[in-house]
Structure 1
Amino acid sequence: MAISPLTVDPIARRMALVDEHVRCENAHDLDGVIATFGAGARYDDEPWAEHHEGLDGVRHFYSSLMGAVPDLTIEILKRYVSADNIILEVVIRGTHLGAWRGLPATGRKLAIPLCGIYTFDADDRLAGERIYYDRATVLRQLGVFHEPQTFIGDATTFLTHPWTIAKALARKLGGK
């Protein structure tokens, strides 16, 4: 029996696992995604300071995401590989067709640049996935965030931050 290079090379083994993980995400195979994690699984969505621990917690995160964006796809742009971590730069695309973080479905298209850091346990299963992306980009694409330089942004700022606006105007009028 020949020994597979994936068996010998731990980095290749880990890269194959991450590839399988992304393949399962793109196939919307929730059980397949969860199978890439080890028993001590962790998922960290850093922009929201949201942390999911254990296989059930990670499953809940992915189930919510796949329900909100049922046509989700992940395109890998770049990979950075070290002995301990694999980092992917990706673009996540899809349509917001289900409730997400209290926001009902908007039907809007999403294209979110994202960086994911994958760590591994002693059995070379995923110990964790930590993601970073710009929340404002997501909220803008969903139609709930507007730049302050726009009319809607100005109105929203004025209505939600009247004290801040009043202080800024007082400084401006006072010459400070």
Structure 2
Amino acid sequence: MTTETRRAARQKLVLDHFHDEVRQDWDDVLATFPHPHYELIPTMTVHDGDRAVRGYYRASRVAFPDQDHEIIALRHSDDAVIVEFWLLGTHRGPLGAIPPTGSRFRVRMSAYFIFDEDENLVCERIYFDSLTLFRQLIAGLNPRSPRHWILAARCLRGLLKEAGRTPHPGLTTTTPAPALAG
């Protein structure tokens, strides 16, 4: 069972992690992990290691330079801190193959900050509804504007390209949880 002292230390680390992400202080964010590892479940992608995670940070801030969050709730389990939050920002640059629309978004998410037996943060696993995000990114396009028709078509093509990527095998090859004692 996790003690209150461990919970408090984990919670501080997670809140510092969130704060440093907003400040875009990547060295401090990466210092919260002994080995940085992100799993984005909606896109079935993994960013593993310093270089890959820095690339993820760079790409996400090109797409959403003003990215911010509003924490809704923090919960604790024996091996994780689970954070529910709103992610918000403005789509100013490409999001993978999806061109910028200039639209604002606010999407509810959850992140599992998973700790090992030595209290090291070993993974941030993020869940969100990607359709809600995409719908908000294209919501500002004017259906009467031919210029926006072209942008909408490019966005749809980009979405299809992103959706067609091969999922990371670490997220598709999983083992069932042990049966719970009744």
Say yes or no: TM over 0.5.
yes
Whether 1:36 and 2:17 are equivalent positions in the alignment is: no
Tell me the distance in 2 between the aligned counterparts of 1:125 and 1:68: 30
Runs of 5+ consecutive residues of structure 2 not aligned to the other structure: 140-148, 158-182
Structure 1 match to 2:107: 112
Over the aligned positions, Cα root-mean-square deviation in angstroms equals 2.3
Match of 1:46 among 41, 47, 59: 41
Bigger shift: 134-143 or 48-57?
A: 48-57
Structure 1 match to 2:78: 83
Structure 1 match to 2:19: 23
The structure where helix makes up a greater share of residues is 1
Structure 2 match to 1:61: 56
* Offset of residue 26 of structure 1: 1.6
Match of 1:73 among 64, 68, 72: 68
Structure 2 match to 1:135: 130
**Offset from partner CA, 1:67-121 (integer Å, 9 cap, x none):** 2111111111011112310000000010011111111221110101001000124
Tell me the distance in 1 between the aligned counterparts of 2:75 and 2:29: 21
* Percent identity between the two aligned chains: 35
Tell me the amino acid that sits aligned with residue 104 of structure 1. P
* Offset of residue 43 of structure 1: 0.5
**Offset from partner CA, 1:20-49 (integer Å, 9 cap, x none):** 00001121222221111112x210000011
The structure that has the greater radius of gyration is 1
TM-score, normalization by structure 1: 0.73
Note if contact 2:39-2:45 (Cα within 8 Å) is conserved in structure 1: yes
Note if contact 1:30-1:63 (Cα within 8 Å) is conserved in structure 2: no
Note if contact 1:11-1:83 (Cα within 8 Å) is conserved in structure 2: no
Note if contact 1:17-1:125 (Cα within 8 Å) is conserved in structure 2: no
Tell me the amino acid that sits aligned with residue 9 of structure 2. R
TM-score, normalization by structure 2: 0.70
Structure 2 match to 1:101: 96
* Offset of residue 122 of structure 1: 4.9
Tell me the distance in 2 between the aligned counterparts of 1:126 and 1:46: 18
* Offset of residue 139 of structure 1: 0.7
Specify whether residues 101 and 143 from structure 1 end up closer, same or farther in structure 2 by C-alpha distance, changes over 3 A only. same
Runs of 5+ consecutive residues of structure 1 not aligned to the other structure: 1-7, 145-151, 161-176
Tell me the distance in 1 between the aligned counterparts of 2:116 and 2:57: 20
How many matched pairs? 140
